[in-house]
Amino acid sequence: MKVNILGAGPAGLYLAILLKQSDRRHQVQVVERNAPDATFGFGVVFSEGSLDELERADYESYIAITESFASWNPLDVRYRGTLTRIRGNVFSGIAREELLRLLQDRADRLGVELVFEREVRSLDPYLDADLVVGADGANSLTRRTYADRFRPELGQHPAKYAWFGADFAFPVFTYIFKETRWGLFQAHCYPYAVDRSTMVVLISEATWRNAGLDEMSEQESLELTQAVFQDDLGEGRRMLGNRSLWINFPWISCASWHSGPVVIMGDAAHTAHFSIGSGTKLALEDAIALARALARWKDDREAALTEFEMERQPVVERLQEASRVSADYFASVQRYFRFQPPQFAYQLMTRTPRITHNNLTARDPQFVREFETWFAGGDGRLVAPPPAFTPLQLREVVLANRIVLTRTGQGAGLVVTSLVGVTPEGRIDPETVLVSDLAPSPTGRGRGGGEEVMISLGHAGARGAMRPRSLGLDLPLPEAERWPLVSASARAYAPWTPVPSEADPAPLIDQFVAAARRVRELGYRLLELDFSRGYLIDSFLLEDRLDFPLQLLEAVRDVWPADLPLGVACSSDSLEAVRAFKAAGVDLVRVLNGQRTWDARTEYGRMYGAAASDRVRNECGVQTIAFGQITTVDEVNTIVAAGRADLCMLDPL
Amino acid sequence: MKVGVGLPTSTPGHDRELLLRWARRAEELGFSSLGVVDRVVYDCWEPISALTLAAEVTEQARLATMILIGPLRTTAELASQAAELQELSAGRLVLGLGIGARHDDYQAKGVDPSRRGRALSEQLAELRMDPASPPLLVGGGGPAFLRAARFADGYVHGGGPPRAFAGAAARARAAWREAERPGSPQLWGQGYFALGDAQRGADYLRDYYAFTGGFAERIAAANLTSPRAVKDFVRGYEEEGCDELVLFPTVSHPAQLERLAEAVAA
Ligand SMILES: Cc1cc2nc3c(=O)[nH]c(=O)nc-3n(C[C@H](O)[C@H](O)[C@H](O)COP(=O)(O)OP(=O)(O)OC[C@H]3O[C@@H](n4cnc5c(N)ncnc54)[C@H](O)[C@@H]3O)c2cc1C
């Protein structure tokens, strides 16, 4: 087989090695525009998981690479003058230059034809082969040439970053968060040789401008950055530059990676944000999968390339998704600057759903134990319950744990009702409970389990007079059975639902106040007002009419005892509104983003509700309940411990 | 988990005799349901007509569209067809609806595809509120999860390995919870098989899915071509909480059905 590989980065070189190694008769040529020793970047980091795959794929290069590794397992977080260390993470680093040299040597000895200092300007001269591989990096000419077949999607992360080095080895992987008068500087640092480290520095676009970096030379920007981090580097230590300027991370993904004899791999086909693991590892794994597929489907190239794509695309997509979450985390990390150091570090570790409380406990049981005692109140105790089973105080009410369910008798810390109608017109359907139907509860607790019960008062608005939920959602009752509907304006909720008339706010306030009084008289100690999901109050918020909801809230707060907590269920779409609710005396926000309009779209991924709750909690400084595919106690532990919510609605599977 | 089988309505060489024989035999072999697909611009049977034929020669099996492209029919037309089949089959119809994947089907029917999501929702609302409505399922991605929770009894997945099904099933359940529907959604899965004559099966899938570009290759490559593969697939779906898995043939030959029954039973 004749193979032309364009680009001698990790992907191209490693593929050449594996092909030659599986069959010496293959004619393999690698074309590279740079000289063999020209390279950018500093160290390459391999995080998470082992490199067993490399060992199986080509033992010689595996030994050569791993012998040159700098390895460590703790991870340091330097934040607000403190240092938190978390163990049990597996990392190794190697100089990119060294990695390429080792791969070049191995390729050379196997008889790969390596052509350096030749720029590929058109693919045509290379197409006379059985296979043409575009391993030509993020700016891939191959991908651009066949853009109509590969259908690339390109994007940019808003933050700026630059690769620097340091003239010493950081003891372990280190995250540094440094506040300056221009804004936040972050560095992700890792050693890759006895006297060298990589420092990837991240700043926002605003910081970049404030500091004047947009107008500085490379040398000036190096000096400024070094001054920022000098304390962490230590006296006399220096940062190093290498042609790397402030850039936006490019997102690359492609619908297809192959067409006819042409296939793309590595950065040419996909990028994953560096904050979650190196593109280098992905590039090497691509090479392994491609070589393996080609060996299995000797005379059927199409089958081989299809198999390669089928095997790698899902893996890459999952990593890309996690890397997006991670990139967003680092871009909005200032949201968490109110956190105490242990929680800040915990949040950093669990920033993507890939690492939960259980995973973290397996990595560093001591860190988690100390974290748990801190979370439970510190006070010198040695043992503490996991975060989900830590009590929560809301004004005078103490909830036994952080789990919210919709039924009593199941062990929750809090039970929240479905919407309880303030008036018969406010019902969702004939089965909606009315405030006048509520059973008294002298203790405020439910029967059976003794959980605190939160009554969620609301008015269905344009979503009223529907058939019961056993049939479906938003299915209007037959005309004869409907009651009159009101909403902020005379607009139907959905194309198939009836048009309401315009609501008169004044009597509604009285009705809510009367209902709140009644709830208290019955003995309940937690009250929530439902401002969510396009129901009546939300229909005002959807029109940016904050006045009426606020008046209502203030009126209810007035009659609701000052020592008892008041909640609101609402979306995270307007943080300004949430801040106003908080100022009006709201203690707890249940963040519900779905169904505000009939065609609103929710992405129902794992723990999808945690991100919205996080935003509300940490941007508005209010306690929250997260809802949305939270299905295990491990997930509740993770969300609560990371300060993404104070309580979680659990959907047991 | 129940296991059903697809009817050969779009595989090359489908005909009336084969369909009748297949339906009868599938029921004898214990398959719980008979499934059909829907495409306009392809050599295949109209799904409701095919199920009507099958209904005449079976007694027990459920008759499922997986899926039928709702917006290509007027709601009145679809409702009356469904009601008729429901009566004819003594209530065995399960109507799975989706928007389909192809624009040319819409062109062929002169229906504007840009409003298809909304059209399907409105159609589902109307069907659902008819007391004579058959059980409904919704298929698709993105907005389909809430659509299923809003209007239907469950969700039909479009095919793929058990992992892919698991991801979609979790979303369907999450939407169900968000909609505060009691209980949990019915979850249906599907797959393709060719037990013997794998090449012909792959050719059919490449052709049927040609409009997806490179994706057709992948679908062809995922075809279940050995009893082992079928068994693993069935077990995988069962583990992920599938309620009913329907396996579609890719080769029009009665022997395929016998082999499938053996593979599933073994
Ligand atoms: C500035 C920068 C610095 C980086 N530093 C680091 C780091 O320190 N650590 C880390 O883990 N990751 C780093 N990365 C990311 C990492 O390099 C990639 O994820 C990884 O190298 C991908 O491997 P690859 O083989 O697919 O592509 P690359 O390593 O990009 O290799 C592509 C090769 O193709 C060659 N090429 C491209 N076009 C042509 C052409 N037309 N003709 C001939 N040759 C061509 C290039 O010169 C290059 O050698 C860095 C990326 C950039 C952009």
pLDDT for res A299: 82
CATH of B2-265, one of 3.40.50.1980, 3.20.20.30, 3.40.1190.10, 3.30.499.10: 3.20.20.30
Complex prediction ipTM: 0.94
- Every domain of chain A with CATH number 3.20.20.70 lies at 417-602
Of B145, B163, B182, the CB nearest to A470: B182
Lowest mean pLDDT, pick from A36-45, A98-107, A584-593, B65-74 = A36-45
Lowest mean pLDDT, pick from A38-47, A315-324, A511-520 = A38-47
A148 close to B (CB below 8 A)? no
pLDDT for res A571: 98
pLDDT for res A40: 66
User: Averaged over A558-562, what is the pLDDT?
Assistant: 98
Residues 6+ apart with CB under 8 A from B178: A594, A595, A602, A604, A627, A628, B146, B149
Name chain B contacts of A595, Cβ cutoff 8 Å. 146, 178-179
User: Averaged over A629-635, what is the pLDDT?
Assistant: 97
Q: How far is CA A236 from CA A168, A227, A231, A233, in A?
A: 10, 11, 10, 8
Q: CB A563: neighbour CB atoms within 10 A?
A: 9
Q: Is A201 helix (H, G, I), strand (E, B) or coil?
A: strand
**What DSSP element (H or E) covers A153?**
strand A152-166
pLDDT for res B217: 80
**Confidence band for A380, pLDDT divided at 50, 70 and 90:** confident
pLDDT for res B42: 87
Distance CA A212, CA A218 (A): 12
Provide the residue type at B185 as one letter. Answer: P
Residue A63 contacts residue A52 (beta carbons within 8 Å): no
Strand partners, A165: A198, A240
Residue B112 contacts residue B106 (beta carbons within 8 Å): yes
Whose CA is closest to B223, among B239, B200, B245?
A: B200
pLDDT for res A68: 87
Tokens at A266, concatenated: 């590595």
- Which homologous superfamily does the CATH classification assign to the domain defined by A417-602? Aldolase class I (3.20.20.70)
A478 CA to chain B: closest CA distance, Å?
Answer: 9
pLDDT for res A50: 61
Contact A653 B213 (CB under 8 A): no
Lowest mean pLDDT, pick from A53-62, A263-272, A356-365, A465-474 = A53-62
pLDDT for res A35: 93
Q: Is A28 helix (H, G, I), strand (E, B) or coil?
A: strand
Residue A31 contacts residue A120 (beta carbons within 8 Å): yes
Cα A149 to ligand 1 centre (Å):
23
User: Averaged over A11-27, what is the pLDDT?
Assistant: 96
Q: Give the model confidence (pLDDT) of A397-413 as tens digits.
A: 999 999 999 998 899 99
Tokens at A298, concatenated: 């000797």
Contact B174 A471 (CB under 8 A): no
Contact A651 B126 (CB under 8 A): no
Contact A606 B170 (CB under 8 A): yes
Strand partners, A93: A45, A70
3-class SS letters over B67-118: EEEHHHCCHHHHHHHHHHHHHHCCCCEEEEEECCCCHHHHHHHCCCHHHHHH
A353 close to B (CB below 8 A)? no
Tokens at A630, concatenated: 């939270």
Cα A147 to ligand 1 centre (Å):
20
pLDDT for res B240: 97
The answer to whether the CB of A33 is under 6 A from ligand 1 is yes
Whose CA is closest to B60, among B29, B106, B98?
A: B29
Could you tell me the sign of the dihedral formed by the alpha carbons of A639, A420, B185, B116, in that order? negative
Q: Atom 19 in ligand 1: which residue has the minimum CA distance?
A: A279
Name chain B contacts of A627, Cβ cutoff 8 Å. 178
The answer to whether the CB of A120 is under 6 A from ligand 1 is yes
Computed over every residue of chain B, the mean pLDDT equals 94
Identify the DSSP state of A77.
Answer: E
Provide the residue type at A290 as one letter. Answer: L
Residues 214 through 243 of chain B touching chain A, CB cutoff 8 Å: 214-215, 217-218, 221-222
pLDDT for res A653: 65
B122 close to A (CB below 8 A)? yes
The answer to whether the CB of A134 is under 6 A from ligand 1 is no
**Confidence band for A512, pLDDT divided at 50, 70 and 90:** very high
pLDDT greater than 80 at residue A379: no
Provide the residue type at A512 as one letter. Answer: F
B162 CA to chain A: closest CA distance, Å?
Answer: 13
Q: What percentage of chain A has pLDDT greater than the value 90?
A: 84
Of B128, B180, B213, the CB nearest to A471: B128
Tokens at A548, concatenated: 């009426």
Cα A282 to ligand 1 centre (Å):
12
Closest atom, ligand 1, to C-alpha of A265: 26
B130 CA to chain A: closest CA distance, Å?
Answer: 10
For residue A625, say if its preceding peptide bond is cis, omega within 30 degrees of 0: no
Whole-model pTM over 0.90: yes
- Every domain of chain A with CATH number 3.50.50.60 lies at 2-329
Tokens at B203, concatenated: 């050719």
User: Averaged over A499-507, what is the pLDDT?
Assistant: 96
Ranges under pLDDT 50 in chain B? none
pLDDT for res A48: 59
pLDDT for res A277: 74
> Is 3.50.50.60 the CATH number for A2-329?
yes
Residue A607 contacts residue A614 (beta carbons within 8 Å): no
Would you list the domain boundaries of chain B? 2-265
Of B149, B175, B214, the CB nearest to A256: B214
Cα A117 to ligand 1 centre (Å):
15
Which of A48, A146, A239, A274 has most ligand 1 atoms within 8 Å of CB, for mutation?
A274
Residue A610 contacts residue A630 (beta carbons within 8 Å): yes
The answer to whether the CB of A93 is under 6 A from ligand 1 is no
Of B121, B122, B221, the CB nearest to A307: B221
**Confidence band for A375, pLDDT divided at 50, 70 and 90:** very high
pLDDT for res A444: 77
Residues 254 through 293 of chain A touching chain B, CB cutoff 8 Å: 255-256, 258-259
Q: Give the model confidence (pLDDT) of A51-64 as tens digits.
A: 788 889 999 999 99
Question: B130 to chain A: nearest residue by CA?
Answer: A478
Whose CA is closest to B247, among B5, B37, B56?
A: B5
User: Averaged over A142-165, what is the pLDDT?
Assistant: 95
Of B129, B146, B217, the CB nearest to A602: B146
Contact A469 B181 (CB under 8 A): yes
The answer to whether the CB of A283 is under 6 A from ligand 1 is yes
Tokens at A177, concatenated: 């968060």
The answer to whether the CB of A266 is under 6 A from ligand 1 is yes
pLDDT greater than 90 at residue A450: no
A554 CA to chain B: closest CA distance, Å?
Answer: 29
